[in-house]
């Protein structure tokens, strides 16, 4: 939902679908606020914040799958610092992976130049990485080396089957449907968003997105009906 916020009463009802008691749900919300993962306006409404809000933005971008024109150029990111702490190295790797680069070898990350906007915007990391352009001699082969495209495609087919097997109709589907939705969104974030000319034959990225958009629209309708039916007069 947009904006990503709900009243506490509705949040408590939703967590009840997963066997979470009202007391546990309220304690969890308080901890989320204390940890910067949510905010509250004092009137009983809670909104996502911090890294959870950032994750939601990444999910939205992954779900849309928007790319730009590809002219054969690749973006190359080279780590130029040494002696970083384990936490800094972990955060740097996470930021590069979020930007959909893949590691060719230690400290060298690449991807086709077909995404809009800056590759990395994480504060404090840009100075550790030098960005360059490259034009591989065999871009298709390099893409297959950097990403396990067969595994992603196989997993996509399995998720497509699950979307067909779990029609989002009736309150009994809300809990398993939530888990399925999370699995699809997580999988879409692992899509390298390659240009069409570098994709394997019958690449299922667009098919999965179209199927999920239709399924999610129906799921949200079912959730809205259940929410209205469970509101205490």
Q: How confident is the model at residue 152 (pLDDT cuts 50, 70, 90)?
A: very high
Structure tokens at 50: 């911090």
- pLDDT higher than 70, residue 3: no
Question: What do you get for the CA distance between the two ends of the chain, in Å?
Answer: 24
User: For residue range 200-227, what is the model confidence (pLDDT) as tens digits?
Assistant: 999 999 999 999 999 999 999 999 898 8
* Residues belonging to the chain: 233
Fold for 147-229, please state it: Methane Monooxygenase Hydroxylase; Chain G, domain 1 (1.20.58)
102-133 pLDDT, tens per residue? 999 999 999 999 998 766 655 456 678 898 99
The pLDDT assigned to 1 comes to: 55
Q: What is the pLDDT of residues 15-57, one digit of tens each?
A: 888 888 888 888 888 898 889 888 888 777 888 888 877 778 8
Q: For tokens 């008691």, what's the residue? A: 21
Least confident of 5-9, 88-92, 164-168, 202-206: 5-9
Nearest to 74 by CA among 110, 30, 43, 23: 110
CB atoms within 10 A of CB 14: 19
What's the pLDDT score for residue 123? Answer: 46
Contact 135, 72 (CB under 8 A): yes
Q: Under the phi-then-psi rule, with left for phi > 0, alpha for psi from -120 to 50, and beta for the rest, what region is 118?
A: beta
Coil, helix or strand at residue 19: coil
Burial code of 49-62, b = ≥16 C-beta within 10 A, e = fewer? beeebeeeeebebb
- How far apart are alpha carbons 5 and 175 in whole angstroms? 19
Query: Rounded to an integer, what distance in angstroms lies between the CA atom of residue 24 and that of residue 46?
Result: 16
Q: What is the chain's mean pLDDT, rounded?
A: 89
Q: Model's pTM, two decimal places?
A: 0.85
Q: Which of 12-21, 71-80, 88-97 has the lowest mean pLDDT?
A: 12-21
pLDDT above 70 as % of the chain:
94
């Amino acid at each position: 939902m947009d904006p990503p916020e709900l009243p506490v009463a509705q949040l408590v009802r939703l967590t009840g679908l997963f066997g979470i008691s009202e007391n546990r749900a309220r304690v969890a919300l308080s901890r989320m606020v204390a940890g910067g993962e949510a905010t509250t306006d004092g009137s009983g409404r809670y909104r996502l914040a911090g890294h959870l809000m950032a994750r939601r933005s990444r999910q939205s971008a992954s779900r849309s799958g928007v790319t730009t024109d590809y002219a054969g150029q690749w973006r190359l990111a080279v780590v130029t610092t040494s002696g970083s702490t384990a936490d800094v190295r972990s955060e740097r790797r996470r930021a590069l992976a979020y930007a959909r680069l893949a590691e060719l070898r230690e400290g060298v990350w690449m991807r086709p130049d077909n995404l809009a906007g800056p590759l990395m915007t994480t504060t404090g990391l840009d100075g550790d990485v030098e960005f360059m352009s490259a034009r591989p001699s065999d871009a298709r082969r390099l893409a297959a080396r950097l990403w396990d495209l067969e595994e992603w495609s196989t997993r996509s087919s399995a998720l497509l089957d699950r979307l067909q097997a779990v029609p989002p109709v009736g309150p009994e589907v809300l809990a398993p449907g939530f888990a399925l939705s999370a699995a699809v969104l997580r999988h879409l974030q692992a899509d390298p968003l390659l240009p069409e000319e570098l994709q394997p034959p019958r690449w299922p990225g667009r098919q999965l997105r179209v199927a999920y958009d239709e399924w999610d629209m129906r799921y949200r309708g079912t959730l809205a009906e259940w929410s209205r039916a469970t509101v205490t007069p």
